[in-house]
Amino acid sequence: MSVATQDTAIRTGRVARTLIYLVLLLFALFYLLPLYVMVVNSVKPLNEITGGGMMNLPQVFTLEPWAKAWSSAQIGVEPTGLQPYFWNSIKMVVPAVAISTVLGALNGYVLTKWRFRGDTILFGLMLFACFIPFQIVLIPMARMLGLMGMAGTTQGLVLVHVVYGIGFTTLYFRNYYAVFPTELIRAAQIDGAGFFQIFWRILLPSSGPIAVVSIIWQFTNIWNDFLFGASFAGANSQPMTVALNNLVQASHGVKEYNVHFAGAILAALPTLLVYIVAGRYFVRGLMAGSVKG
């Protein structure tokens, strides 16, 4: 993406520039507002929030809400905190991301370097699958998971996320491999290299950037999923998002807003960390995708 660094030829005057900076700053505050609210209110006692101090910095600093959200808050019927659900999410996300990325890489390789009649239609079918409203598959999926003995299990959720993630991972790798010089592959073929050898020795070593995009995309989507978790998870496989929703919507007892905010940050932390650490590659990948169309 060399074009991304190209500067515009537009010139602006001093007054216009000041206004532009002002607007940009204002919107930065708008985007940061909910994060600010979550962070400051997760480290103050409940009475400071209910007393009208939601926008203030904490007068008494406490990590009590974090501890409670993590290990002792009432989620559903058990006072377990969000901790077990956090691990449920990890156990679901890691295999689902790995499997869908590997399949996407192989599919992208076949669809660009071993083209055959009708391959574009097959790719179109896979791609459309990313955009369907998932309501259309909820009922048969629930039955299918039941038939396969995977109802309410983490494996069942992994399967669901792999199936509905393949389209995106295939799209990423296909676009990336499409610009990879096919001559190199033909040369390797003449030298007697087979299908997997070419993939392993030639394409894979240069797939780092797109693998990062695919992994970040899948990780974010699967970690943040609520619909599938709410529909198919059992007591021992509920992901973090479902647990957070149960915590916040609980109708019994005092509403502990500070615990809710701490819980929300806990649920957001993994994807936020990934975004901060590897976000540059992610944005670059998204931009490359949208420029190419």
We find the least distance from the C-beta atom of residue 72 to another protein, in angstroms, to be: 19
Contact call for residue 250 and another protein (CB under 8 A): no
Longest dimension (CA), the chain: 76
Contact call for residue 217 and another protein (CB under 8 A): no
Report yes or no: 18 and 245 within 8 Å, Cβ to Cβ: no
We find the least distance from the C-beta atom of residue 63 to another protein, in angstroms, to be: 19
We find the least distance from the C-beta atom of residue 276 to another protein, in angstroms, to be: 8
Which residues in 57-116 contact another protein (CB under 8 A)?
103, 106-107, 109-111, 114, 116
Contact call for residue 208 and another protein (CB under 8 A): no
User: Own/partner pairs for 270-276, CB < 8 Å, 24+ apart?
Assistant: 270/89, 270/219, 270/223, 271/219, 271/220, 271/223, 271/224, 274/216, 274/219, 274/220, 275/216, 275/220
The SS3 call for residue 152 is strand
Q: Which is nearer to another protein, 153 or 170 (CB)?
A: 170
Which residues in 123-142 contact another protein (CB under 8 A)?
123-129, 131-141
User: Considering CB under 8 A, how many residues would be counted as binding another protein?
Assistant: 105
Contact call for residue 162 and another protein (CB under 8 A): yes
Tokens describing residue 220 = 């974010």
207 Cβ partners below 8 Å, 6+ apart? 105, 173, 176
Contact call for residue 210 and another protein (CB under 8 A): no
Contact call for residue 268 and another protein (CB under 8 A): yes
Residue with tokens 């915590």: 247
Contact call for residue 279 and another protein (CB under 8 A): yes
Contact call for residue 27 and another protein (CB under 8 A): yes
Tell me which of 71, 186, 194, 236 binds another protein, using CB under 8 A: 194
Report yes or no: 148 and 140 within 8 Å, Cβ to Cβ: no
Q: Which stretch binds another protein (CB under 8 A): 64-72, 77-85, 117-125, 147-155?
A: 117-125
What is the CB neighbour count within 10 angstroms for residue 229?
25
Stated length of the chain = 293
- The Cα 262–Cα 272 span in angstroms is 14
Tell me which of 83, 227, 234, 281 binds another protein, using CB under 8 A: 227
Question: Rounded to an integer, what is the distance from CA 242 to the centroid of its chain?
Answer: 15
Tell me which of 18, 47, 71, 120 binds another protein, using CB under 8 A: 120
We find the least distance from the C-beta atom of residue 207 to another protein, in angstroms, to be: 16
